[in-house]
Amino acid sequence: MNDRIRKIVIAGVMGGISIFLGATRLGFIPYFSGASLTIMHVPVIIGAVLEGPVVGAVIGFIFGIFSLLQAAIAPTGPADVWFVNPLVSVLPRLIIGPIAWLVYRGLKNLNEVPALVAAGIAGSLTNTGLVLGVLGAFGYLPWPLIGTIAAANGLPEAALAAILTYAVVVPWKRINTKRQGSSV
Amino acid sequence: MAQRNEFELMGKVVIGQYIPTGSVVHRLDARTKLMLGALLIVVAIFVSSIAALLLLFVTVLFGLCITKVEVKLAFISLRRVLPYLFVLAAIQMLAVPQFRLDAKVIWEWRFFVLTDRSLLSGLLLMGRFVVIVSLLALFSFTTSTTELMHGVEHMLQPLQRLRFPAHETALVINIAIRFVPILMGEAERIMRAQASRGADFGTGRHNFIRRFMRMLPLFVPLFILSLQHAQNMAEAMESRCYMGGSGRTRLIQLHYEKQDFVAFLIGIVAIAGALCMSLFKVDQTVWKGVMTILS
């Protein structure tokens, strides 16, 4: 199949999933720190792992623009006020895909399964780190608080992203994990 | 009936609506609206003057008034965040220390210090937000997604010379937007199917890992099905000899009309005015004037 067409379509569809997760609020998992955990960036990671860094960056762009629009049109919390700034909402999201792809590419030859988990964690931490970094650079939040948020929200988000990336890419690429079939 | 509502995802979506009234703003070229909107947002973010933000807001409000859409609609979402906005502005004003020697202390109570600089930064935060929200409302009321797509594609055209895939970018965004309703239907079907097998997507008080694990039977099939959709669509496009953007002709051609030039003129005057106000520190002059009158 033509590689370019597939890349275009997968980028579009994954961008669609990111919008879908945000618009229906399904991509937010309530969490005790008040700010809910998000998995809206997982389509970016999956797209990057499957189709490369450019596709990842394009999905990241769609995700970023959508989170800007959502923060402006249908805000749900105090943090949304900051996300109206494209430097907070769009710029960091462009980099999630390429980083996830680099990590996946680097570890793939050793073993595919840990590579996927690592890509999920790296992509998610890129999102947390860069968004909070930009917030800190703008002076919206004091740096010590940023460290706390990064640990409290960033680490569980990374875990969820790793689980979901693994759970989707393994069956899609038919990777043999020796644990076939349902566990139920 | 309460059980059924859990699966209905469409109703949960709250995002900008296109309201066709056929006004002048609706008839503007999508490119004009995109370019002016982007410029105004950038200016609103970088300008650091209340007067400049007021000027931008008046411009957007003027735009909203001539769309014949109820202006009230633009501020519905604003009303919901207003409390948060006040809290944030208050934090910005009081808690974030402004270590600047030239800042004057206006009000002091125990460890709260309000300086003129922190007051300004709090007001700017609110002003910027209001301007950007009303601008996005204006844009979404008057531009349909189809128009938006044509606009994006036309605007990226010059970049095609630099080998930037303009047509492909527009296509990707188009697929993403068109796919959302399909995904909604798909997700509803998966949720019903999994519920019939005993899955529970309920909103019980569980820790986040348990909650996430309960959602996995929805997320994994959703991703896999979408990837399958993508593959089918790519095959369908290929079998219809899709060759990409080069040498394609268009059904709808965009043209700049007289009203576009007028819109550009108004927008550029507003932007230049805002930049001048920010540059020549109109705020401080007005502030000093007010102070002298008061004293």
Q: Kindly state whether residue B101 falls inside one of the protein's structural domains.
A: yes
Q: Element (H or E) spanning A183, and its range?
A: none
CB contact under 8 A, B173 and A15: yes
Contacts of B174 in chain A (CB under 8 A): 12
Q: Kindly state whether residue B139 falls inside one of the protein's structural domains.
A: yes
CB contact under 8 A, A19 and B177: yes
Q: Kindly state whether residue B185 falls inside one of the protein's structural domains.
A: no
CA distance B175 to A11: 9
Q: Kindly state whether residue B8 falls inside one of the protein's structural domains.
A: no
Chain position carrying tokens 């968004």: A131
Residue B106, pLDDT score: 65
Give the closest-approach CA distance of B59 to chain A in angstroms: 18
Contacts of B79 in chain A (CB under 8 A): none
CB contact at 8 A, B137 and B113: no
Q: Out of B14, B80, B227, whose CB is closest to A172?
A: B227
**B108: which strand partners?**
B113
pLDDT tops 80 at residue A73: no
CB contact at 8 A, B67 and B26: yes
A52 touches chain B (CB under 8 A): no
A34 touches chain B (CB under 8 A): no
Q: Apex CA A62: angle with CA A57 and CA A64, to 5°?
A: 90
Question: Closest chain A residue to B172 measured between Cα atoms?
Answer: A12
Chain position carrying tokens 């594609």: B153
In terms of Cα–Cα distance, which of B12, B117, B238, B252 is closest to A9?
A: B238
CB contact under 8 A, B220 and A171: yes
Q: Kindly state whether residue B162 falls inside one of the protein's structural domains.
A: no
Max CA pair span of chain B: 79
Q: Kindly state whether residue B234 falls inside one of the protein's structural domains.
A: no
- Using CB atoms within 10 A of its CB, is residue A108 exposed (0-12), middle (13-18) or buried (19+)? middle
CB contact at 8 A, A84 and A72: yes
Q: Element (H or E) spanning B106, and its range?
A: strand B105-109
CATH topology of domain A3-173: Arp2/3 complex 21 kDa subunit ARPC3 (1.10.1760)
A58 touches chain B (CB under 8 A): yes
Residue A146, pLDDT score: 83
Q: Provide the H-helix boundaries in B110-207.
A: 116-142, 145-160, 166-196
Report field, pTM of the whole predicted structure over 0.90: no
For B65-85, what is each residue's pLDDT tens digit?
Answer: 888 887 777 777 677 667 777
Backbone angles phi, psi at B100, to 5 degrees: -130, 130
CB contact under 8 A, B13 and A26: no
> Which tokens hold the place of A119?
């890509």
pLDDT tops 70 at residue B113: no
A78 touches chain B (CB under 8 A): yes
**Highest mean pLDDT of the ranges A87-101, B88-102, B198-212, B244-258:** A87-101
For A79-112, what is each residue's pLDDT tens digit?
Answer: 677 787 888 888 999 999 999 999 999 998 888 8
**B107: which strand partners?**
B114
Residue A114 corresponds to which amino acid? P
Give me the residue spans of the domains in chain A: 3-173
Q: Kindly state whether residue B6 falls inside one of the protein's structural domains.
A: no
Q: How many domains does chain B have?
A: 1
CA distances A29 to B122, B206, B215, B243, Å, are: 31, 11, 10, 41
CA distance B99 to A64: 33
pLDDT tops 50 at residue B1: no
Q: What is the DSSP letter of B233?
A: H
Q: Out of A32, A78, A87, whose CB is closest to B84?
A: A78
For A111-122, what is each residue's pLDDT tens digit?
Answer: 888 999 999 999
Residue B292, pLDDT score: 84
CB contact at 8 A, A24 and B6: no
